[in-house]
Chains A and B, each alone.
Chain A
C-alpha cells in the first residue's frame, strides 16, 4: 500500500467528539458525516482536504467515544492515511475494521508539518517527507491484521471465511 498526499496536522488527544460531533450522529449517511468531519476542532478542514491527503496527529488520536462514524467520516472526507504518535484503542480497531489505513509512527508525526508533501509505503514500512527530504521507518502490522486489511475489512474477512 502506497499513499501520496499533503499533510493536515493536529495535536494530542484529538477525540472522536471533535472528529464528528454527536449532534450529527442522527445519521449513518457517510457523505453527510464527512461534511462535518473535524468541525469542532478545525472548521476549514472540509474546505481544505483533498482526496489522498494524509492526516498527522500527536498522542492518543481518536480517544473518547467508540463511534465508528469518526473513522468513517475521515475516510469519506478523502483522507487516505492517518499517521499519529499513538491511537486510542477503539479508534485503532475501528479503522482497521472499516479499512482506513492508520499507522503509529512518533518520529514521522513529529517530523511532518502542515502542508508537507508525504509519501508512505506501508508494505516496506517507509514514510518519506518529500518537502524536507526526511524519511522515517514504521513497523508492519501483525499478520492477523494485515489479512483483515487485505480483505478490505472485518466484514469481508468473515464473508470469506477467514474468521469463523
Chain B
C-alpha cells in the first residue's frame, strides 16, 4: 500500500510500517504548542490528569500572543496562569512579551520545527508548518493537555488532495493569492478532514514565506494539514535556524489521492475574499468601488518580513487615504527589528500607518483595531467570519499584503498594479 507524505510521517511517529486513510492511530509528537487563550483551559485539564510533570520540558511550547501584551485584567490573569505553569514545570520554550511573536511565525523562525516533525498546537493555524515538510495540525486544549502529559495524540489517518503547482507568480501576486484562489475553488469544507499536499515544478518558484502563508490557511478549506514537498529552499531555511537532524518524506509515486488539481501560478491574479467566508473570492475584474475604514497588515498568515517589504514597496512615498486607519503588525520581534533596520517602519509611519508590537490582536477581534458597526477592513489575516474583527455588522475583506497596502493608499479595495501605475 502506497502512502502520501502525511501518511508516511504519521506512520513513522506511530511506530508502524504502513497506515491507511481512516485508520485510528496513536502518534508521538515532537512539539505541543499552546497560546494565552488555549493554554489556560489545557492547564486546567492537565492538572486533572495528575502526572508528575510534562513529558518533555523542551518540547512543550507556550507563546503569549493573542491578548498579549495583556489587553485587560482578565487577559493578564490568563497570561499569568501560563507564566506560572511554565515556571513550575520549567518549560524552556515559553515566549512572553519582549521575546514572543505570533506563534506560527515564531516557531519556524526559532527553528523549533524541522521537516518530518509531528506538531500539535491548540490553535487552528498550527497547520502552518506543513510549509517546511512537517505534519502539523490544530487541536483543542484537552488534546494539548494530554499531549503535555503523555507526548501523544490520537489521529484518524487522513486521505489527501494533491495540488500540482506549475509556472511562476506574476508581480504583486503572492502566496496569499494562491491559497485564496484555491479556497475559492474548493470551498471552506473542500478539504474537510483531509491533507492538502503541494507538489510540482511550481513549488520552487514560491519562497518559504509564500509556502508558510499557503499552509497556514489550509484550515480555511477544512483541511487537517497542508504540506509542501521539501526542497533546497526549505533545507536552507531550516539549517539556518536549527541543528536538529530531520527527515524528508516524499509521497510514493503511486500514492492515492481523492482529487488532483493542477494550479498554474502564472494564471493567478490578485484575489480578495469577500465577507463572510474565505471561499467568497473575487478578482479585480469583479470588484467594484468598495470604500474601506481600516487596513490590517500582519497576523500569522502575513506578518513575515517579506509581507511587510511588499507592502512597503507600494506605500513608500505615498500617504494613507484620509479616513483610513492602517495598522501594521510585524509578526515577531526579529521581523520588527529587521523592518526597523531596513527603514520599513519609517516608510510606514511617514505614510500615516501605525506600527504595533507583535500580537494576534485585531485578527480575531481581540484588540488593537476593532471595527465599529458597518465598518469595513481589508486585512491580510485569515478569517472574515461574522463579527471576526468587531461588530457583527462590520466586514472583513481578506487579501495579500500588496492589495492591503494599495487599498490603504486608495481608501478603497485597490489593485496594487493600478496604484503603482498611478504612482509613476
Q: Quick check: which of A44-52, A64-72, A75-83, A127-135 contacts chain B, the rest being far away?
A: A64-72
* Given A22-B365, A67-B38, A97-B140, A142:B124 Cβ within 8 A: no
Q: How far is the CB of B170 from chain A (nearest CB, A)?
A: 30
The reply to whether B222 and A66 contact each other, CB–CB distance below 8 Å, is: no
The reply to whether B41 and A69 contact each other, CB–CB distance below 8 Å, is: yes
The reply to whether B192 and A60 contact each other, CB–CB distance below 8 Å, is: yes
Residues of B at under 8 Å CB distance from A? 24, 26, 37-38, 40-41, 44-45, 48-50, 66-67, 71-72, 74-75, 77-78, 121-124, 126, 138-143, 145-146, 149-150, 152, 154, 188-189, 192-193, 219, 222, 224, 277, 364-366, 383, 385-388, 392
**Contacts of A72-129 to chain B: CB distance below 8 A:** 72, 86, 88-90, 93-94, 97-98
Q: How far is the CB of A67 from chain B (nearest CB, A)?
A: 7
The reply to whether B67 and A26 contact each other, CB–CB distance below 8 Å, is: yes
The reply to whether A144 and B24 contact each other, CB–CB distance below 8 Å, is: yes
CA distance A41 to B193 in the complex (A): 25
The reply to whether A155 and B45 contact each other, CB–CB distance below 8 Å, is: yes
Taking CB atoms, residues of chain B closer than 8 Å to A86 are: 189, 192
Residues of A at under 8 Å CB distance from B? 13, 15, 17-18, 21-23, 25-28, 40-41, 59-60, 63-69, 71-72, 86, 88-90, 93-94, 97-98, 142, 144-145, 153-155, 158-159, 163-164
Taking CB atoms, residues of chain B closer than 8 Å to A71 are: 140
The reply to whether B146 and A13 contact each other, CB–CB distance below 8 Å, is: no
CA distance A65 to B49 in the complex (A): 25
CA distance A122 to B308 in the complex (A): 52
Taking CB atoms, residues of chain B closer than 8 Å to A28 are: 40-41, 44, 78
A sample of 24 cross-chain residue pairs with beta-carbon separation below 8 angstroms, ordered by A number, consists of A13-B189, A15-B385, A18-B387, A21-B387, A22-B37, A22-B365, A25-B37, A25-B66, A26-B67, A26-B71, A64-B219, A65-B364, A66-B123, A66-B138, A67-B37, A68-B141, A69-B37, A90-B124, A90-B138, A90-B139, A94-B143, A98-B140, A98-B142, A155-B146
Taking CB atoms, residues of chain B closer than 8 Å to A142 are: 24
The reply to whether A68 and B142 contact each other, CB–CB distance below 8 Å, is: yes
Q: How far is the CB of B213 from chain A (nearest CB, A)?
A: 18
* Given A88-B189, A90-B124, A144:B74 Cβ within 8 A: no
CA distance A48 to B43 in the complex (A): 33
CA distance A13 to B385 in the complex (A): 10
The reply to whether B124 and A66 contact each other, CB–CB distance below 8 Å, is: yes
Q: How far is the CB of B222 from chain A (nearest CB, A)?
A: 6
CA distance A42 to B168 in the complex (A): 45
CA distance A88 to B392 in the complex (A): 22
The reply to whether B124 and A155 contact each other, CB–CB distance below 8 Å, is: no
The reply to whether B140 and A94 contact each other, CB–CB distance below 8 Å, is: yes
The reply to whether A40 and B49 contact each other, CB–CB distance below 8 Å, is: no
The reply to whether B74 and A27 contact each other, CB–CB distance below 8 Å, is: yes
